[in-house]
Amino acid sequence: MKFGLAPATVLVAALSTTSLSAETLRLLTWGGYAPEDVIALFEAETGHTVEVTTSNNEEMIAKLRATNGGGFDLAQPSQDRIASAQEEFGIYKPLDMSMVDAAQFIPSMLEATAANTTYEGEVYGLPHVWGTSGLVVNTAEAGQVTDYTDLCDASVAGSVSYRLKRPTLIGFAYSMGLDPFAAYSDADAYQGILDEVEAALIECKPNVKTYWDGGDEIKNLLRSGEVVAAMAWDTGGWQLNADNADITFVAPEAGALGWIDTFVLPARGRADEAAYDWINFVMRPEIASMITNTAGNFTAAVDGDAEVSAELKARYQGSFDQAAIDNIKWYPPVPAGLEALEGATLDRINASN
Amino acid sequence: MTDKSKLGFYLLLMPLMLWLITLIILPHIGLFMVSISEKIGVRQYETGLGNYAVFFNEPLYWRTFARTAFMSIFTTVLTLVLGFPVAYYIAKLTRGRTKTTLFLMCLIPFWVSELVRTFGWMILLRETGVLSNFLQYTGVIGGPVEFLYNDGAIMVGLVYTSILFMIVPLVTTLDSLDDSLIEAGYDLGGSDYSIMREIVIPHAMPGIVSGCIVVFMLSLGNYLTPILLGGKDSLWFTGLIYTQFITRFNWELGSAFGFLLLALSSSIVFIGLKLSRQSLTETMGR
């Protein structure tokens, strides 16, 4: 086995020396978080080059786990998935706050993220983009859908879609009057909640047209009118609203689910300096506005909404009044092992007839 | 063999061995090691067959497994039934330029990627898609009908994706059948049916078997088509493996599933060869 690995190791080592001298920032992020124009400005100002790989939470962790935290210099998972991933796989390295211009961050978000991404006394995450998931509804045809459980109503049978993933479990639990986040630390209580949600989702299954997987898939279903109500991200709803004024994001009565995507340093990233330069660059108010205009979500930058387009602001205010903002349920850090319980529940829902 | 030619032989063998060892054997050893480690706590693992036990104790997993196998076998049969007449027509009833053109037309859809072909089927089959609109236009159906998100759609996608791999070996073996043998059959008073059964099919058997093996393997290991075209009840085993690896972070169970899939496909191919009384060397060696 060792003899077979040796040539591969030499090859990898040879490749890595070449990329080191090129000063490249390998960024693992979400679609829309690193727009072309922002990259061009950053490259012109700092001389670094940026290579972007777009992904999602699970794939980011899986990619970094496969390489023990190598292959990328900066990643952007959601804040609730950092501490447990660090505990299980050790794929990140702690942040050096002296390298970060903390004054550019909204203090409350910076503190909340730091608290949620602390593992063994070290902080691993900085807040970047935040948003919510809730309901995207065609108000002309399904205006009665105002909460997650309304998706199971007979009036929208066959025209409903949601993902078979953890946000669905949590949204339904809140809508059913339960408090899943409070039960995070108590596996038995959480299992009890999951069992109730499982029964509800199995009963709801005939109502569902299909379980969606990707953002483009659900947007197509809503745009074509094949689906009239879905559980989805706020940005998806606002993008559709630009094409069809009837479709928009609705903050559910039980509360939209709030997430914050962060900056973290992979354990074996090699361009830390470029990574900190990127963080400080994109948190500038005018750059943050550019990112909000392409990604559709607001950032944790101070004055980051100053140059955001008026249409986007109007859509945001249309979906969220102050009460809806106060009612956002922010994801607390997921304890290690919780996903196994949720996975078994999702499997049973998937298998039921 | 002299020492010099021995060296040459080993040097020529090197690329193949390197490819086999680094890309196939080593990853499988690694995967196997992962599959026999059970997670007992955070960063704590112990060796055991627990992951394989999970598979047999959870009905969802082995049912999906059986479902995937049956649907792949059905796809293979359907592909054979649809592919054989096409191959026969190309090999026996056309000559020269027409033959090349027809063969090329079978190939053309494969110039674009599988993803694009699958999206093409989605556009055709969806509720607001081409087929549903056409049927409404002609008055066959009253309202929009959803053809997507069911097992039928998966079958269509799989057959379409793999039919070329059935036609190519069939055309090759049918080409090698001397026309005079068929003529002799008719001269001796054979009917269409008996000639097909006694002459054509026995001759084409190696092509049929190798085509079936390839199509079956492609269908069983397909990920894209079942995921995109299948509905809320259409589970596919490769989808389960992806879920375990990516969304559940459970590489241990995912690896065990991977090995079970390997064992399943190998044993079904073995049984298929035994039933058709063909040997692997004979089918693949032709």
ipTM, 2 dp: 0.80
Instruction: Report phi then psi at A250, rounded to 5.
Output: -120, 125
Q: Of A209, A211, A351, which has the smallest distance from its Cβ to B60's Cβ?
A: A351
| Contact criterion met (CB < 8 Å) for A350 and B247 | no
A138 and A125 part of one domain: no
Instruction: Determine the pLDDT at residue A5.
Output: 44
B146/A209 touch (CB, cutoff 8 Å), yes or no? yes
pLDDT at A11: 45
Confidence of residue B1 (pLDDT cuts 50, 70, 90): low
Instruction: Please state the rounded mean pLDDT for residues A39-66.
Output: 93
Residue B85: exposure state from Cβ atoms within 10 A (0-12, 13-18, ≥19): exposed
pLDDT tens-digit series, residues A99-132: 999 999 999 999 999 999 999 999 999 999 999 9
B227/A213 CB distance under 8 A: yes
pLDDT at residue B284 is higher than 60: yes
Cβ-based contacts of A1 with chain B (< 8 Å) = 26, 29
Question: Alpha-carbon distance A288 to A76, whole Å?
Answer: 15
Q: Please, what is the average pLDDT of chain B?
A: 90
A274 lies in the same domain as A293: yes
Asked, for residue A94, whether it belongs to a domain, the answer is yes
Which of B237, B238, B216, B113 is CA-nearest to residue B165?
B216
Q: What is the mean pLDDT of residues B127-136?
A: 91
Q: Which residues of B touch A340 (CB under 8 A)?
A: 248, 250
Q: Would you state the pLDDT for residue A106?
A: 93
Contact criterion met (CB < 8 Å) for B249 and A350: no
A145-155 tens-digit pLDDT: 999 999 999 99
Q: What is the pLDDT of residues A54-67, one digit of tens each?
A: 998 889 999 999 99
Q: Which residues contact B5 (CB under 8 A, 6 or more apart)?
A: none
What pLDDT band is residue A268 in, cutting at 50, 70 and 90? very high
Taking CA atoms, A58 is separated from A52, A208, B182, B223, in Å, by 17, 24, 60, 18
pLDDT at residue A337 above 90? no
Q: Clarify whether residues A148 and A122 are in a common domain.
A: no
pLDDT at A181 over 90: yes
Question: How large is the average pLDDT for residues A176-187?
Answer: 94
What is the C-alpha separation between B231 and B150, in angstroms, rounded? 5
**CB within 8 Å: B248 and A343:** yes
Asked, for residue A144, whether it belongs to a domain, the answer is yes
Considering only CA atoms, which of A265, A277, A28 is closest in space to residue A123?
A: A265
Is A205–B250 a contact, with Cβ atoms under 8 angstroms apart?
no
Largest CA distance in chain A: 66
- What is the percentage of chain A residues whose pLDDT exceeds 70? 94
Give the list of residues 6+ apart from residue B9 with CB closer than 8 angstroms, or none. Answer: B1
Question: Are A124 and A12 part of one and the same domain?
Answer: yes
**Shared domain check, A269 and A254:** no
Say which of B58, B235, B245 has its CB closest to residue A62.
B245
Residues of chain A found within 8 Å of residue B232, distances taken between Cβ atoms: 205, 208, 210-211, 350
pLDDT tens digits, B13-29: 899 999 999 999 999 99
Q: How far apart are CA B189 and CA A156, in angstroms?
A: 66
Residues A70 and A170 in one domain: no
Q: Tell me the β-bridge partners of A78.
A: A261
Q: What would you report as the CA-atom Rg of chain A, rounded to the nearest whole angstrom?
A: 21
**In the predicted model, is pLDDT for residue A28 greater than 70?**
yes
| Average pLDDT of the residues in A12-39 | 73
Q: Does residue A170 carry a pLDDT above 90?
A: yes
Report the topology of domain B59-285: MetI-like fold (1.10.3720)
CB A128 within 8 A of CB A292: no
Q: What is the pLDDT of residue A300?
A: 94
Q: Which residues of B touch A336 (CB under 8 A)?
A: 42
Predicted local distance difference test score (pLDDT) of residue A223: 93
Residue A247 phi, psi (nearest 5): -90, 130
How far from chain centre, in Å, is Cα A199?
Answer: 27
* Cα torsion angle, B56, B61, B64, B65, sign: negative
Residue B6 has pLDDT above 90, yes or no: no
Torsions phi, psi for B143 (to 5 deg): -125, 175
Asked if A73 and A27 count as a contact pair (C-beta separation under 8 A), the reply is: yes
More confident residue, B178 or B280: B178
Residue A26: how many other CB atoms lie within 10 Å: 22
Strand B44-47 and strand A74-75: the pairing is: unpaired
Cα B260 from Cα B245, distance rounded (Å): 15
Q: Return the closest-CA partner of residue A26 out of A49, A44, A46.
A: A49
pLDDT at B41 (0 to 100):
77
Kindly give, in sequence order, each residue whose CB lies less than 8 Å from that of residue B34, ignoring residues fewer than 6 positions away.
B251, B252, B255
User: What confidence tens digit (pLDDT) does each residue in B50-101 have?
Assistant: 899 989 998 889 999 999 999 999 999 999 999 999 999 999 999 889 999 9
Q: Are B46 and B38 in contact (CB under 8 A)?
A: yes
Contact B250 A224 (CB under 8 A): no
Distance between CA A196 and CA B73 in Å, rounded? 38
Could you tell me what percent of chain B has a pLDDT over 90?
Answer: 60
Q: Is residue A324 part of a domain?
A: no
Q: Is residue A319 part of a domain?
A: no
Of A334, A282, A337, nearest to A77 (Cα)?
Answer: A334
Interface test with B, best of A2, A55, A58 (most B CBs within 10 A): A58
Mean pLDDT for chain A overall: 90
Whole-number Å distance between alpha carbons of B185 and B68: 41
A-chain residues within 8 Å CB-CB of B63? 351
Shared domain check, A67 and A146: no
Q: In angstroms, what separates the C-alpha of B259 from chain A's closest C-alpha? A: 19
Q: What is the DSSP letter of B246?
A: I
> A336–B26: do the CB atoms touch at under 8 Å?
no
Co-location of A207 and A221 in the same domain: yes
> Using beta carbons and an 8 Å cutoff, which residues of A are at the interface with B?
1, 4-5, 7-8, 58-59, 61-62, 65, 87-88, 90, 165, 205, 208-211, 213, 224-226, 336-337, 339-340, 343, 347-348, 350-351, 353
Where in chain B are the domains?
59-285
Q: Do B26 and A347 touch (CB under 8 A)?
A: no
Residues of chain A neighbouring B58 (CB-CB closer than 8 A)? 347
AA identity, residue A5:
L
User: In terms of domains, do A115 and A138 share one?
Assistant: no
Query: Given this model, what pLDDT does residue A22 score?
Result: 52
Question: What is the C-alpha separation between B263 and B256, in angstroms, rounded?
Answer: 11
Number of CB atoms found within 10 A of residue A195's CB: 12
Span A184-193, average pLDDT:
94
In a domain, A168, yes or no: yes
Tell me: the pLDDT tens digits for B244-271?
Answer: 988 888 899 999 999 999 998 899 999 9
Structural domain count of chain A: 2
Q: What's the confidence (pLDDT) of residue B177?
A: 92
Provide the residue range defining the domain that includes A26: 2-130+259-313
What band does B285 get if pLDDT is binned at 50, 70 and 90? low
Looking at the fold, whether A84 and A27 belong to one and the same domain comes out as yes
Residues A273 and A250 in one domain: no
CB-closest option in B146, B149, B248 to A339: B248
Reading the block at residue B83, the tokens are 């592919």
Decide: A238 and A312 in contact? Cβ < 8 Å. Answer: yes
Average pLDDT over residues B215-234: 91
- With beta carbons less than 8 A apart as the criterion, state whether A266 and A71 touch: yes
Best of B55, B133, B247, B255 to substitute, by most chain A Cβ atoms within 10 angstroms, is: B247
The answer to whether A229 touches A150, Cβ cutoff 8 Å, is: yes
Q: Does A21 have pLDDT greater than 60? A: no
Quote the CA–CA distance of A258 and A256 in Å, as a whole number. 6
What is the rounded average pLDDT of the residues A64-93?
93
For the entire predicted model, the pTM comes to 0.84
CB contact under 8 A, A348 and B60: yes
pLDDT at B281: 74
CA distance A309 to A293: 7
Note the helical H segments in chain A.
Answer: 2-21, 36-46, 57-66, 82-89, 107-116, 139-142, 166-175, 187-204, 215-223, 234-243, 272-282, 285-295, 310-319, 322-326, 338-351
Residue A344 lies in a domain: yes
Supply the CATH number for residue A6's domain: 3.40.190.10
A229: confidence class by pLDDT, cuts 50, 70, 90: very high
**Which chain A residue shows the shortest CA-CA distance from B228?**
A213
What residue type is assigned to position A47 of the chain? G
Compute the count of residue pairs across chains A and B with CB atoms less than 8 Å apart. Answer: 68
Among A134, A148, A138, A146, which Cα is nearest to A228's? Answer: A138
How many C-beta neighbours within 10 Å does residue A7 have? 12
CA distance B83 to B90: 11
Counted residue by residue, chain A has a size of 353
Q: Residue A6 above 90 pLDDT?
A: no
